[in-house]
Structure 1
Amino acid sequence: MNPINGICRFENFREQVENNNFTTISIGRMRVSLEIQMEDGTNQIYPFLSCQPQPEFKEIVIRCFLSYLNHDKMINNEDMYCVCMKPDQMTFRSKMKVHELLDEENGWLDNGTLCIEYGFHIEAIQYMDGIWEFNFNDKCVNFDQREDVIEFEIYKCSYGKTLYLYTPRELVNFHSRLFTTRTYPLPERFSEYYWLIIPDVLQIAHGVNKNYSFDRHHLEIAKELEFQNVIRFCERQIIQESLDVNDLYLVYLVQEFQTASNYNLNHYLAHLLKNVGNVKRLTDVLKTMRLKEMFVSLRKIVQDSNICIRPYLHCPPLPGCKQLTICCFFSFLNQSHRITLEE
């Protein structure tokens, strides 16, 4: 979707100034009008943008473009700015002296009508729960002239349509090296249902912290796009939402270990190892998994988490003995015969 833009026409402008009563133009939920303010003994006219009260959000960040249109286009008075505003709050910019606008020789009036071109794009919204979300669905103002924006192209094969998302280039490039062109078409294997998830992935990549309806497909897309910060976010959420590992059937437990291995979720792997219950269940998991793929991650996380495999000697109760003193020898044998851990 394109940013909202158009031209506001204030007909009979001189009469509106005399009455200090200006036309209000509604554009969706936004309103554009004029207001006179005295400044340094001179009446100044300000165009302003306001938003009607909305029960679902607290604040919005909006990028605005305003331009007084002159007969001579070379002297149009243009202004672009970004502002954070609350519902029913007004934002003022682009002032001009009233007497300059009323002087028809200056070229600001067209048959007594003042024309102001506008454009605005809602960049982010803060909802009532305090969480911010970015607007990636709409093109930004002056999109065609900007190089600091990336356009994601996602084909929705079930609908035969293409979804476009628009994100700032700087932050996306900070997390990933993939995006070297202005338009990035997502691989076709993500076209079936991933288009529902990709907006969430981009929100997380930009630092939005909220409870999503999490799916393992989030990890798959994050890995494809090289968003390590998204993978770490998903890992934290997996740990917080994980069921009691002891209650999982072996087949599901293997799936969890495999997910941790596939996406290098070292913290989640540590969580699984600490809560797997007993050595037998861990042995069954390792027998089932592809150990060659698992080995590097498992070795690292075992070292990082101070998890050790310890052989032990156990003696059943003996009715005639209170304590035993035993001298023991253990040795981990390596196939190369060059590495032997003895104690």
Structure 2
Amino acid sequence: MIEYEDDWDYSMYHVGFRDASFLKAAIKYDLNHFLFLSNVSIAIFQNGICRFENFPECLNNTTEIELGHTETPYIAVNWFLGLERVSDPEGDRIRAYIKNVCEHETARITFQVLIKFLKSNNFGISLDGPWSRGKYTKGITDKVFSTHTMKISEIVNPFEWLDNGALEIEYGIHLEAYHKSDEIWNFNFHEKSFNWANVEFSKVIIKLGTIKGTELYCDKANSIESFQLLKFHSQFMSPKFSEDDSILSNRVLSLNNNFRTQSTETALQIAHGARDRLLEEALNFTNSMDYPTIICCNIVEIAEKLKLRNVSRFIERQMIEFDAEEYHKRFLKLAIRYDLNHYLAHILRMNKPMKDVYEDEDVQLMSRNTIMLIMSKFMKDSF
């Protein structure tokens, strides 16, 4: 059982917007069944209620409360919630802000925030007060201020705004996209994004069959538009995410353990318009001859399974632009296997020997385009 104290720090608990007030009441009145069912976790989600204890003292000192951090495969961002005093001839006011601190000096991030002042009542349930929300693109250390300010003289009314002397602010943060020095934007698929209208079907969740059961939330930028984007580009996903689909009405697509997390996420990044320099990064990462081929093969294989043909075409174009002779044989095998006819035509124009490439391929599995290109090449060379 959690014991209730007047100065209990509820900012430890990062829970859903509407659950936070009920959590507070559950702790206060020992509703342990609610605590068990809510499965409270500490400092995981970037939303909840933050308490500024002894509010009058906060006015004289700069106060920032650490909210936690967001980690992606490439960058980490720490988040803080603070208060700032604003001078006003009619009486000083207060405004809240969310500050981001990123460890990478060249990074830029796009994120959405919610800041809401809460009123207190006699039942331990907080009521909504002035609030603001927005989407911002910032550098490594920036502040986003609430659009509303409040008179300090109104806040210090203990029966309306303060709960045991504490000012409560509800907040929400979602890191939507980010880039480093390469200036290539990548979406953050590892966190649920804001759902302003509480429309649950706008979530497109892909759950991978890995040991950890990784979940990727593909409702970035604007959930409805991103949802339509995947449906448009993928004949596989289109029927799966139909709004009338009773089997997948909860918008969860479970994939088996053949879908590796990194390769699947990269395929989804490309499908959403993130143009990674995959082969260049692969060569910088290792000197292994096989590594770039493995990357291309894994991503194309996943793209073909998900029917994201535009992703396969993007990898194919990078293979052509890369054009390293030592990779021709490996890439050509990949092109034949997955009908990357543009790369096949590129190699044929270079008059490269193909005997060692296609002899171990099953001709019955070749596409019609591949067979026609190879036959055309042989017929041309025969005359």
2:380 to 309, 312, 316: 309
Query: In the TM superposition, what is the alpha-carbon distance from 1:197 to its structure 2 partner?
Result: 1.4
Query: In the TM superposition, what is the alpha-carbon distance from 1:228 to its structure 2 partner?
Result: 1.7
Q: Is the 8 A contact 1:59 1:127 kept in 2?
A: yes
Distance change >3 Å, CA 274–CA 52, structure 1 → 2: same
Q: Is the 8 A contact 1:10 1:22 kept in 2?
A: no
Query: In the TM superposition, what is the alpha-carbon distance from 1:94 to its structure 2 partner?
Result: 4.0
- Unaligned runs of at least 5 residues, structure 1: 313-343
1:152 aligns with 2:152: no
* Larger displacement relative to structure 2 (37-46 or 266-275): 37-46
Separation (CA, whole Å) in 2 of partners of 1:111 and 1:71: 9
Q: After superposition, give the CA deviation of every residue in 1:25-80 in whole Å (9 maximum; x if it has no partner).
A: 12232221112335796644221011225335421111212221112545433433
Query: In the TM superposition, what is the alpha-carbon distance from 1:284 to its structure 2 partner?
Result: 7.3
Give the corresponding residue for 1:9.
51
Separation (CA, whole Å) in 2 of partners of 1:53 and 1:295: 48
- Paired amino acid for 2:261: W
Q: Name the SS for the 1:3 alignment partner.
A: coil
Query: In the TM superposition, what is the alpha-carbon distance from 1:16 to its structure 2 partner?
Result: 3.5
Query: In the TM superposition, what is the alpha-carbon distance from 1:8 to its structure 2 partner?
Result: 2.1
Q: Is the 8 A contact 1:101 1:109 kept in 2?
A: no
Runs of 4+, deviation exceeding 6 Å:
305-308
Query: In the TM superposition, what is the alpha-carbon distance from 1:274 to its structure 2 partner?
Result: 0.7
* Larger displacement relative to structure 2 (35-44 or 205-214): 35-44
- Unaligned runs of at least 5 residues, structure 2: 1-42, 69-77, 220-226, 242-247, 283-294
Separation (CA, whole Å) in 2 of partners of 1:82 and 1:107: 30
1:82 aligns with 2:124: no
1:210 aligns with 2:279: no
Separation (CA, whole Å) in 1 of partners of 2:357 and 2:53: 77
Give the corresponding residue for 2:107.
58
1:260 aligns with 2:331: no
Compute the RMSD of aligned alpha carbons.
3.4
Q: After superposition, give the CA deviation of every residue in 1:160-185 in whole Å (9 maximum; x if it has no partner).
A: 33111111124322322414141011
Aligned residues: 294
Separation (CA, whole Å) in 2 of partners of 1:52 and 1:287: 56
Greater percentage in strand: 1
Separation (CA, whole Å) in 1 of partners of 2:303 and 2:134: 33
Q: Is the 8 A contact 1:32 1:48 kept in 2?
A: yes
Give the corresponding residue for 2:80.
31
Q: How does 1:177-216 map to 2 (within 5 A)?
A: 177=235, 178=237, 179-180=240-241, 181=248, 182-188=251-257, 190=258, 194-212=260-278, 213=282, 214-216=295-297
Q: Name the SS for the 1:162 alignment partner.
A: coil
1:91 aligns with 2:144: yes
Separation (CA, whole Å) in 2 of partners of 1:261 and 1:95: 60
What TM-score, normalized by structure 1, do the two folds share?
Answer: 0.73
What TM-score, normalized by structure 2, do the two folds share?
Answer: 0.66
Q: How does 1:281-296 map to 2 (within 5 A)?
A: 281-282=353-354, 289-291=361-363, 293-294=365-366, 296=368
Percentage of identical aligned residues? 29
Distance change >3 Å, CA 142–CA 289, structure 1 → 2: closer
Q: After superposition, give the CA deviation of every residue in 1:276-323 in whole Å (9 maximum; x if it has no partner).
A: 33xxx45776666544554621466589x99982765xxxxxxxxxxx
1:48 aligns with 2:97: yes
- Paired amino acid for 1:62: F
Separation (CA, whole Å) in 1 of partners of 2:200 and 2:87: 37
Q: How does 1:216-295 map to 2 (within 5 A)?
A: 216-244=297-325, 253=329, 256-277=331-352, 281-282=353-354, 289-291=361-363, 293-294=365-366
* Larger displacement relative to structure 2 (146-155 or 285-294): 285-294
Separation (CA, whole Å) in 2 of partners of 1:286 and 1:183: 39
Bigger Rg over Cα: 1
Query: In the TM superposition, what is the alpha-carbon distance from 1:215 to its structure 2 partner?
Result: 3.0
Give the corresponding residue for 1:162.
213
Q: Name the SS for the 1:104 alignment partner.
A: coil
